[in-house]
């Protein structure tokens, strides 16, 4: 059927019609809200390149998580800023580490919220890389042991799910095995399965103080030019035991989200990263775009591409609009 028999505008006439044929809707259930936790008391340090996002000390964290919970957002994703960084990122897997303490505090105050932890060493190492350095590069196999130690210590502290974001080969099976050996076979893994070496992480590195002190992450994160490789990466993580597979970043990789959703039957998460957030905020501040409209459009596009779950710094703002 073509024009004039078919007129697409008939069903766009008014909001009722548009609502009736709408294919994708956002829900607060889709969101995970990332949080940056820091040592100290009463600390609420703004992150300049991410307006509205703060590094919070543990005493202020519970109030924030409570607000997230009251908005109906099911989960938070924790990132920690350690007191001291060293070559092996020791605070990452210390019992009294920042994340381990934060989990206990949250679980004590807002027990129902799903606490997910980022499992990666870059915030904790003095060199800012995601693992142990050998001969000027991150050594894969010796890093695996530390990652599983880190994941285990998060779960022991009460984390509900762990999210490895380091991009070492074999880390999902290593973490799975370690959790199972310690009777945590019921704890799921959300793996950053297709994580690209992206320029969009810029503001996060300010937020988490995790700039690599030399070189970059291209020897472990994926080349932005590749799509088939994402399928290989995800297949490996699925075989190794991932429960949720993630694509990161989101907006510049909607094609990848779409392919992954089509090829795999696990829940797909997408990380709407710091640079994507910062661009919308900055252009909105200048009045160059309608910030709220673009925010909702970005989130909707990620969902439309196939994501079941969206990790986003916009979660609270978007939830307020959805709940209105
Ligand atoms: C840790 C990690 C990063 C992000 C999430 N986990 C930074 C990186 O890989 O450099 C980025 C998140 C964001 O940009 O919002 N490896």
Binding site membership of 47 for ligand 1 (Cβ less than 6 Å): no
Residue 42 lies in a domain: yes
Binding site membership of 274 for ligand 1 (Cβ less than 6 Å): yes
Of 153, 178, 148, 174, nearest to 236 by C-alpha is 174
Cα(270) to centroid(ligand 1), Å: 13
Residue 14 lies in a domain: no
Cα–Cα distance for residue pair 22/29, rounded to 1 Å: 18
Residue pLDDT, tens place only, 251-297: 999 999 999 999 999 999 999 999 999 999 999 999 999 999 999 99
Binding site membership of 201 for ligand 1 (Cβ less than 6 Å): yes
Q: What HEC string does 293-306 produce?
A: HHHHHHHHHHHHHC
Copy the structure tokens of residue 232: 């290989």
**Mutation pick for ligand 1 pocket among 35, 78, 120, 249 (CB with most ligand atoms within 8 Å):** 120
Residue pLDDT, tens place only, 153-163: 999 999 999 99
Reply yes or no on whether the pLDDT at 211 is more than 90: no
> What are the residues whose beta carbons fall under 8 Å from the beta carbon of 74, sequence distance 6 or more?
28, 29, 31, 32, 113, 114
Residue 151 lies in a domain: yes
**Mutation pick for ligand 1 pocket among 117, 197, 201 (CB with most ligand atoms within 8 Å):** 201
Average pLDDT score, the chain: 97
> What is the reported pLDDT for 134?
94
Q: To the nearest 5 percent, what fractions of the chain are helix, strand and coil?
A: 45, 20, 35
Q: Whole domain around residue 51: which residue ranges?
A: 24-323
- 195 catalytic? Reply is yes
Considering the candidates 85, 101, 248, 303, report the single residue annotated as catalytic.
248
> What is the reported pLDDT for 210?
85
Residue 132 lies in a domain: yes
Ligand 1 atom closest to residue 167's alpha carbon, by position in its atom list:
16
| 93-123 core/surface letters (b: 16 or more CB in 10 A; e: else) | bbeebbbbbbbebbbeebeebebbbbbbbbb
Considering the candidates 85, 101, 195, 281, report the single residue annotated as catalytic.
195
Reply yes or no on whether the pLDDT at 206 is more than 90: no
Confidence of residue 146 (pLDDT cuts 50, 70, 90): very high
Cα–Cα distance for residue pair 298/30, rounded to 1 Å: 14
Reply yes or no on whether the pLDDT at 208 is more than 90: no
Confidence of residue 209 (pLDDT cuts 50, 70, 90): confident
Residue 12 lies in a domain: no
Residue pLDDT, tens place only, 102-133: 999 999 999 999 999 999 999 999 999 999 99
Ligand 1 atom closest to residue 123's alpha carbon, by position in its atom list:
1
| Bridging pattern class, strands 244-248 and 268-272 | parallel
Confidence of residue 139 (pLDDT cuts 50, 70, 90): very high
**Mutation pick for ligand 1 pocket among 35, 99, 127, 210 (CB with most ligand atoms within 8 Å):** 210
Residue 16 lies in a domain: no
Cα–Cα distance for residue pair 71/277, rounded to 1 Å: 20
- 248 catalytic? Reply is yes
Number of structural domains (the chain) is 1
Cα–Cα distance for residue pair 249/105, rounded to 1 Å: 30
Cα–Cα distance for residue pair 257/275, rounded to 1 Å: 18
Residue 39 lies in a domain: yes
Q: What is the CATH number of the domain that holds 93?
A: 3.20.20.70
> What is the reported pLDDT for 314?
98
Residue 89 lies in a domain: yes
Of 281, 263, 270, nearest to 317 by C-alpha is 281
pTM score: 0.97
Region of 294 (left: φ > 0; alpha: ψ -120 to 50; beta: rest) is alpha
Residue pLDDT, tens place only, 47-88: 999 999 999 999 999 999 999 999 999 999 999 999 999 999
Half-sphere exposure (Cβ direction) of 320: Cα atoms closer than 13 Å:
7
Q: Output phi, psi for 111, to 5 deg.
A: -60, -25
């Amino acid at each position: 059927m073509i024009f004039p028999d078919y007129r697409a505008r008939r069903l766009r006439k008014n909001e009722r019609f548009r609502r009736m044929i709408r294919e994708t809707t956002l829900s607060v259930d889709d969101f995970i809200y990332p949080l940056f936790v820091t040592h100290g008391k009463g600390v609420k340090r703004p992150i300049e390149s991410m307006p509205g996002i703060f590094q919070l000390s543990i005493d202020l964290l519970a109030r924030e998580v409570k607000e997230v919970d009251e908005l109906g957002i099911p989960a938070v994703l924790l990132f920690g800023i350690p007191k001291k960084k060293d070559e092996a990122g020791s605070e990452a897997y210390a019992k009294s580490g920042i994340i381990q303490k934060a989990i206990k505090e949250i679980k004590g105050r807002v027990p129902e919220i799903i606490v997910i932890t980022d499992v990666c060493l870059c915030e904790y190492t003095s060199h800012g890389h995601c693992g142990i350095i050998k001969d000027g590069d991150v050594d894969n196999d010796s890093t695996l042991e530390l990652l599983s130690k880190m994941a285990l210590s998060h779960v022991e502290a009460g984390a509900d799910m762990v999210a490895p974001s380091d991009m070492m080969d074999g880390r999902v099976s290593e973490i799975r095995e370690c959790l199972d050996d310690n009777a945590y076979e019921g704890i799921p893994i959300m793996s950053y399965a297709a994580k690209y070496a992206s320029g969009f992480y810029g503001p996060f590195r300010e937020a988490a103080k995790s700039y690599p002190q030399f070189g970059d992450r291209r020897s472990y994160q994926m080349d932005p030019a590749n799509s088939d490789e994402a399928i290989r990466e995800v297949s490996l993580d699925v075989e190794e035991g991932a429960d949720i597979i993630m694509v990161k970043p989101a907006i510049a990789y909607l094609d990848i989200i779409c392919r992954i959703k089509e090829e795999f039957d696990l829940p797909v998460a997408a990380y709407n990263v710091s640079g994507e957030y910062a661009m919308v905020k900055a252009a909105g501040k200048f009045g160059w775009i309608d910030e709220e409209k673009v925010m909702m459009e970005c989130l909707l596009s990620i969902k439309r591409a196939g994501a079941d779950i969206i990790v986003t710094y916009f979660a609270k703002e978007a939830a307020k609009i959805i709940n209105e």
